[in-house]
Amino acid sequence: MSQQTTRTGTPLADAARDHLWGHFTRHSVYEPTASGGSGADVPIIVRGQGHRIWDDRGREYFDGLAGLFTVQVGHGRTELAEAAAEQAAKLAYFPLWSYAHPSGIELAERLAGYAPADLNRVFFTTGGGEAVESAWKLAKQYFKLTGKPGKTKVISRSIAYHGTPHGALSITGIPSAKAPFEPLVPGALKVPHTGFYRAPEHLRDDEYAFGQWAAERIAETIEFEGADTVAAVFLEPVQNSGGCFPPPPGYFERVRQICDEYDVLLVSDETICAFGRIGSMFACDDFGYVPDIITCAKGMSSGYSPIGAMIASERLFEPFRHGTTTFAHGYTFGGHPVSSAVAMANLDLMESEGLNAKVANLAPAFKAQLDTLLELPIVGDVRGAGYFYGIELVKDKTTRESFNEAESERLLRGFLSKALFEAGLYCRADDRGDPVIQLAPPLTIGEPEFAELTGILRDVLTRASELL
Ligand SMILES: Cc1ncc(COP(=O)(O)O)c(C=O)c1O
């Protein structure tokens, strides 16, 4: 039973069960056993400090996922709470609809300064999915305004997650997340992702060749559909869903060439990868490419207040400088003054504490610790970059055989998620592709915490191996 109650005196867990509709949540887990549920209490997190979080029973956990790939500077940073309070007292709300406010302007200028080349125009949203949605709409309207009205389709990669609005969900490559909401937006095409561990057999020894092969699938799809029908390609620098697929060497270089050749916009969806997650403010810089649009959110404010953005190049803004042309698109809370002020304070902290350099310097040590888990029979692959890793679990290491549906259910949902949490680690056991454990801790942690995290994983994964 929850130790705390709502103001009506109801235990928090009961009120949650009866009134809260969880996102991507299987509610049968929390329904009473009498009505066929599992009768568990929803975990309730009440406090955070640094990379630690506490539940309503006072139990402490290591936040191995920075909330949801978000809390870059760690929990409990009073500087950010103060920035929010100060802005709310001065100007709590005003829209960016034909008006502007100082914190939004400051943040737009700052993001444009971080972004590469001439990506200078910042369109604010409240999160990543809205940024992706905005990018597709901009791509369509841009081509209508510049004499190529047939360019409306988009390409993205299998298993990639790009958000839940209808457009962003169409771009998403996870069939089970889309099926309940079909029909979705037409013209969203899929190409293979860059998961090297499961590359086609003939390419498993050559990461560069695999990357070129994967990039060519984009060119092939454009050719097949007709370049005059394709507007944009949406790619994450490191693909999250499926378990951290970094780009093979040469991949983005070839993708950029393909996009230029066919006049297709390259959208770098950095909802997770921006703001130091890989080591730079924008992860396209980590991998040496210049997109036409960056979409970002999460770490911009370290989650202390919601905000996202679509950052577009001068070329894409140009048609909107003239006459009556308008990007007829917006959100009441896009670029909210309080969120913008919090983002500014968050970026101040990231800079003053040198978090990006820290990630870049310590990432090899983090990866080396996690690589020790490869000794376990259940661990097939450890991959990722910066402070962003996926650990792929396999049934048979030699053949790389994965788990079937029932085994995944038993191992991931039945055992691992619970066992990791009970062992004091909040992270994610995900089976949207092959089963992986995902890690994306706050950027404030260092070597002692890498060892602590790995120790917990070793213990739980050893027990999981014994269950097989
Ligand atoms: C790559 C990517 N794009 C888009 C989104 C959607 O962001 P949001 O949940 O803020 O709408 C996410 C969320 O995790 C993401 O990882």
Ligand 1 close to Cβ of residue 173 (< 6 A): no
CA of 166 relative to ligand 1 center, distance in Å = 13
Pocket test for ligand 1, best of 156, 161, 336 (most atoms within 8 A of CB): 161
Q: How many CB atoms lie under 10 A from the CB of residue 6?
A: 13
Q: Is the pLDDT of residue 413 over 80?
A: no
Residue 1 has pLDDT above 60, yes or no: no
Q: Is the pLDDT of residue 385 over 70?
A: yes
Q: Give the model's confidence band at 408: pLDDT under 50 very low, under 70 low, under 90 confident, else very high.
A: confident
78-352 has the same fold as 43-73+354-467: no
Indicate the pLDDT class of residue 430, thresholds 50, 70 and 90: confident
Asked whether residue 84 carries a pLDDT value surpassing 70, the answer given is yes
127 close to ligand 1 (CB < 6 Angstrom)? yes
**Ramachandran angles phi, psi of 263, nearest 5°:** 50, 55
Q: Worst-scoring range by mean pLDDT, 49-53, 338-342, 381-385, 413-417?
A: 413-417
Superfamily of domain 43-73+354-467: Aspartate Aminotransferase, domain 1 (3.90.1150.10)
Show Cβ contacts of residue 79 under 8 Å, excluding neighbours closer than 6 positions.
345, 348, 349
Q: Is 272 in the pocket of ligand 1 (CB under 6 A)?
A: yes
Residues 178, 195: contact at Cβ < 8 Å? Answer: no
- What whole-number distance in Å separates Cα of residue 354 and Cα of residue 392? 31
For the chain, the structural domain boundaries read 43-73+354-467, 78-352
pLDDT at residue 324 greater than cutoff 80: yes
| Closest-lying ligand 1 atom to the alpha carbon of residue 128 | 7
> Quick one: pLDDT at residue 163?
98
Query: What are the pLDDT digits (tens) for 100-158?
Result: 999 999 999 999 999 999 999 999 999 999 999 999 999 999 999 999 999 999 999 99
Among 430, 432, 421, 420, which Cα is nearest to 459's?
420
Q: Is the pLDDT of residue 468 over 90?
A: no
User: pLDDT tens digits for 25-81?
Assistant: 999 999 999 999 999 999 999 999 999 999 999 999 999 999 999 999 999 999 999
Instruction: Over range 384-406, report the average pLDDT.
Output: 94
Q: Which atom of ligand 1 is nearest to the CA of 269?
A: 1
Contact yes or no for 257/282 (Cβ under 8 A): no
pLDDT higher than 70, residue 455: yes
Res. 323: pLDDT tops 70: yes
* Ligand 1 centroid distance, CA of 276 (Å): 16
For the entire predicted model, the pTM comes to 0.98
- List the structure tokens of 83: 């920035």
pLDDT for residue 383: 98
Sign of the torsion formed by the C-alpha atoms of 195, 197, 201 and 206: positive
CA torsion sign for 407, 240, 184, 226 is: negative
Cα(351) to ligand 1 centroid in Å equals 24
pLDDT digits (tens, 9 = 90+) for 225-275: 999 999 999 999 999 999 999 999 999 999 999 999 999 999 999 999 999
> Probe ligand 1: pick from 162, 164, 193, 295, max atoms within 8 Å of CB?
162
Q: How far apart are CA 295 and CA 131, in angstroms?
A: 5
Instruction: Compute the average pLDDT of residues 189-198.
Output: 97
Residue labelled with tokens 């992702």: 193
Verify whether ligand 1 is closer than 6 Å to residue 277 (CB atom).
no
Ligand 1 within 6 A of CB of 412: no
Q: What's the token pair of residue 20?
A: 């809260």
pLDDT above 90 covers what percent of the chain?
Answer: 93
| CATH architecture assigned to 78-352 | 3-Layer(aba) Sandwich (3.40)
Structure tokens at 329: 């698109």
